Amino acid sequence: MRGVLEGSRSLPALNALHFEVPAPEHLFAQRPSQHPPRFLMLYGSLRERSYSRLLTEEAARLLEAMGGEVKIFDPHGLPLPDEAPDTHAKVQELRDLAAWSEGMVWTSPERHGAMSGIMKAQIDWIPLSVGAVRPTQGKTLAVMEVSGGSQSFNAVNQLRVLGRWMRMITIPNQSSVAKAFLEFDESGRMKPSAYYERVVDVMEELVKFTLLTRDSAAYLVDRYSERRESAEALSRRVGQRSI
């Protein structure tokens, strides 16, 4: 609830008008969404036999088996950030998919101890805000990586930082597939292994978090500072109109 605080004198820096006590009744929709959860999947390599793409496709099959609707973005033809206007067809395709989705999966190869430039370019083209709309805020995110050598977590750790920066709900579990060239058969399917079981775990967790949060995402990311800032901005606009 908003309004006057009991004992507000002990919080002199707080604007009581915009303060809200979190309430559980706002976290559960009276009529939960019935459509399949929607997932956008990004991968970070353009190779013909891209292991980040193969891992993405394997995860997509799992999400579909769990009742999800999945769309995989093909990064071929996406310009580098600032190389082209945001009206470019591939940029618009990516942004439309980001707006459509309720959750995402980001999968990158690890190159020189970091995510690939192709992976970063896709994320850089997704804006923090478009007018009053934030395309990623409150949406769920799972991160995965593939590497050619021993298991590493550099790429997934960087992806987590980006997910937090994009104000996404990044799930606790993650997948890192070492020596990825050994984990897929000739047809591109992932072989049975502990790595595969971890991918199943991650996708299962992603679906659960998405179903849990998608109807309350707007409430979860509603912030005191932004409520106060929005009210002050509105007051300034009204004041300017009256001059």
> What is the secondary structure of the chain as a DSSP string?
-BSPPTTGGG-TTS-GGG-B---GGGSS-SS---SPPEEEEEE----TT-HHHHHHHHHHHHHHHTT-EEEE---TTPPPTTTS-TTSHHHHHHHHHHHH-SEEEEEEEEETTEE-HHHHHHHHHS-S-BTTB-SSTT-EEEEEEE-SSS---HHHHHHHHHHHHTT-EE-S--EEESSGGGSB-TTSPBPSSHHHHHHHHHHHHHHHHHHHHGGGHHHHT--HHHHHHHHHHHHHHHHHHT-
Distance from C-alpha of 189 to C-alpha of 199, rounded to nearest angstrom: 13
Low-confidence ranges of the chain (pLDDT < 70): 1-9, 131-133, 231-243
Question: What per-residue confidence (pLDDT) applies to 40?
Answer: 98
Question: What per-residue confidence (pLDDT) applies to 128?
Answer: 79
Locate 130 and state its tokens: 């478009």
Question: What per-residue confidence (pLDDT) applies to 202?
Answer: 98
Question: What per-residue confidence (pLDDT) applies to 129?
Answer: 72
CA atoms within 13 A on the CB side of 108: 27
Question: What per-residue confidence (pLDDT) applies to 232?
Answer: 61
Distance from C-alpha of 107 to C-alpha of 164, rounded to nearest angstrom: 16
Question: What per-residue confidence (pLDDT) applies to 9?
Answer: 61
> CA 98, 101, 105: angle at the middle one, nearest 5?
80
Q: What is the pTM of this model?
A: 0.87
Distance from C-alpha of 81 to C-alpha of 62, rounded to nearest angstrom: 31
Residue 135 CA, distance from chain mean position: 9
Closest CA to 159 of 202, 100, 115: 115
Locate 94 and state its tokens: 């990516």
Distance from C-alpha of 207 to C-alpha of 100, rounded to nearest angstrom: 16
Say if residues 209 and 169 touch (Cβ distance below 8 Å): yes
